[in-house]
Structure 1
Amino acid sequence: MNFELKSLDLAGAAAEKSEALVVLVPEALAKSGKSSLSLLIEQSGKAGDFEGKAGKLLQTYRVDGVAAPKVVLAGMGDGSAKQVRQAVSAACAVLKGSKIKKLVLAFASTPQAGAIRAAVLAVADTTYVYTTTKPKAEGRSLTRVLLGLPEAAPWRAELALGQALATGIEFTKEWGNRPANHATPTLLAQAAKGLTKLAKIKCEVLGPREVEKLGMHTFMSVAQGSKEPLRFIVLRYEGAAKTAAPHVLVGKGITFDTGGISIKPSAEMDEMKFDMCGAASVLGVFRALGEIQPNINVVGLIPACENMPDGGAVKPGDVVTSMSGQTVENLNTDAEGRLVLCDALHYAARFKPAAVIDIATLTGACVVALGGVRSGVFANDDGLAQALLEAGDTALDPGWRLPLDDEYGEGLKSNFADVANVAGRAGGAVTAAKFLQRFVGTTRWGHLDIAGTAWRSGAAKGATGRPVGLLVHYLLGQAGSPAKTVTPRTAARRQAVAKTAPRAVAKRVA
Structure 2
Amino acid sequence: MEFSTQTTASPHQIKTAALAAGVYADGQLSPAADVLDRAAGGRLRAIAKGEFRGRLGSTLVLRDLQGVATQRLVLVGLGKREEYDARAHASAEQAFAAYCVSARLTEGVSTLASNEVKGAASMRDRARAAAIAAGNATYHYDATLGKPDADARPKLRKIVQIVERADASAAQQGLKEGAAIAQGMMLAKTLGNLPANVCTPAYLGEQAKKLAREFKSIKVQVLEQKQIEALGMGSFLSVARGSYEPPRFIVLRHAGKAPAAKTKAKTPAGPVVLVGKGITFDSGGISIKPAANMDEMKFDMCGAASVLGTFRALAELDLPYEVIGLVASCENMPSGRANRPGDVVTSMSGQTIEILNTDAEGRLVLCDALTYAERFKPAAVIDIATLTGACVVALGSVNTGLFASDDELADALLAAGKQTLDPAWRMPLDDAYQEQLKSNFADIANIGGPKAGAVTAACFLSRFTKAYPWAHLDIAGTAWKSGNDKGSTGRPVPLLAQYLLNRA
Give the letter for the 2:19 counterpart: L
Residue 19 of structure 2 aligns with which residue? 21
Matched, 1:127 2:138: yes
Cα distance change of structure 1 residues 468 and 40 upon mapping to structure 2, 3 Å threshold: farther
Q: Deviations over 1:159-184 (max 9, x none)?
A: 11111111111111111111111111
Aligned to 2:433: 408
Give the one of 317, 340, 345 matched to 2:370.
345
Counterpart of 1:90 in structure 2 is 95
Partner of 1:32: 35
**Which of 316, 324, 330 matches 2:355?**
330
Deviation at 1:258, TM superposition (A): 0.6
**2:448 match: secondary structure:** coil
Q: CA deviation digits over 1:111-138, x for unaligned, max 9?
A: 5421111111111102211111123233
Which residue, out of 379, 399, 421, partners 1:374? 399
Say whether 1:64 aligns with 2:66: yes
Q: What is the alpha-carbon distance in structure 1 between the residues aligned to residue 37 and residue 236 of structure 2? A: 67
Q: Relative to 1, partners in 2 of residues 1:150 and 1:218: Cα closer, same or farther, differing over 3 Å? A: same
2 CA distance for matches of 1:289 and 1:38?
48
How far has the Cα of 1:444 moved from its partner?
Answer: 0.5
Q: Which amino acid aligns with 1:124?
A: G
Contact 2:280 2:330 in 1 (8 A): yes
The answer (yes or no) to whether the contact 1:373–1:398 under 8 Å persists in 2 is yes
Counterpart code for 1:235: L
From 170, 173, 187, the counterpart of 2:203:
187
Corresponding residue for residue 168 of structure 2? 153
Query: What is the distance in 2 between the residues matched to 1:25 and 1:118?
Result: 19
**2:113, 2:47 → 1: CA distance?**
15
Residue 236 of structure 1: SS of its match in structure 2? strand
RMSD: 2.1
Per the normalisation by structure 1, the TM-score is: 0.88
1:163 equivalent among 172, 179, 185: 179
| Map 1:191-230 → 2, pairs under 5 A | 191-196=207-212, 197-230=214-247
Question: Sequence identity, in percent?
Answer: 52
Distance 1:240 1:438, change over 3 A: farther
Taking structure 2 as the reference length, what is the TM-score of the superposition?
Answer: 0.89
Residue number among 119, 128, 144 corresponding to 1:117 in the alignment: 128
For the residue of structure 2 that corresponds to 1:82, the secondary structure is helix
2:101–2:154 CA contact under 8 A, matched in 1: no
Number of matched pairs: 476
Contact 2:21 2:30 in 1 (8 A): no
Check the 8 A contact 1:321/1:328 in 2, yes or no. Answer: yes
- Is the aligned partner of 1:44 residue 2:81? no
Unaligned runs of 5+ in 1: 480-510
Which amino acid in structure 2 is aligned with residue 11 of structure 1?
P
Deviation at 1:105, TM superposition (A): 1.9
Aligned to 2:264: none
- Does the aligned pair in 2 maintain the 1:2–1:145 contact within 8 Å? yes
Deviations 1:13-66 (A, max 9, x none): x53221x33223566745537654683433323x34446674354333332244
Matching residue's letter, 2:5: L
Structure 2 Cα separation of the partners of residues 37 and 446 of structure 1: 55
Residue 443 of structure 2: which of 418, 421, 424 is its match? 418
Could you tell me how far 1:364 is from its partner in structure 2? 0.3
For 1:333-482, list aligned pairs within 5 A.
333-479=358-504
Structure with more contact order per residue of length (Cα contacts < 8 Å, sep ≥ 6): 1
Q: Deviations over 1:194-218 (max 9, x none)?
A: 1112132111111111111110010
Q: Give the counterpart letter for 1:181 in structure 2.
A: N
**Closer, same or farther: CA 413–37 of 1 in aligned 2, 3 Å:** farther
Distance 1:93 1:140, change over 3 A: closer
Amino acid at match of 1:17: T
Shift of 1:153: 2.3
The answer to whether the aligner puts 1:235 opposite 2:252 as a matched pair is: yes
Return 5+ residue gaps in structure 2 as ranges. 259-266
Give the aligned partner of residue 193 of structure 2. Answer: 177
Contact 2:180 2:317 survives alignment (8 Å): yes
Q: Which whole-Å CA distance do the structure 2 matches of 1:374 and 1:163 have between them? A: 23
SS of alignment partner, residue 362 of structure 1:
coil
The alpha-carbon deviation at position 243 of structure 1 amounts to 8.2
Report the Cα offset of residue 467 of structure 1: 0.4
Distance of 2:304 and 2:38 partners within structure 1: 50
How far apart, in 2, do the equivalents of 1:244 and 1:365 lie?
35
Counterpart Cα distance in 1 of 2:268 and 2:98: 47
CA-CA distance at 1:409 after TM superposition: 1.4
In the TM superposition, residue 101 of structure 1 has moved relative to its aligned partner by 1.9
Q: Is the 8 A contact 1:203 1:235 kept in 2?
A: yes
Number of the residue aligned with 1:317: 342
Deviation of 1:240 after TM superposition, in Å, equals 5.3
Q: Single out whichever of 97-106 and 268-277 deviates more from structure 2.
A: 97-106
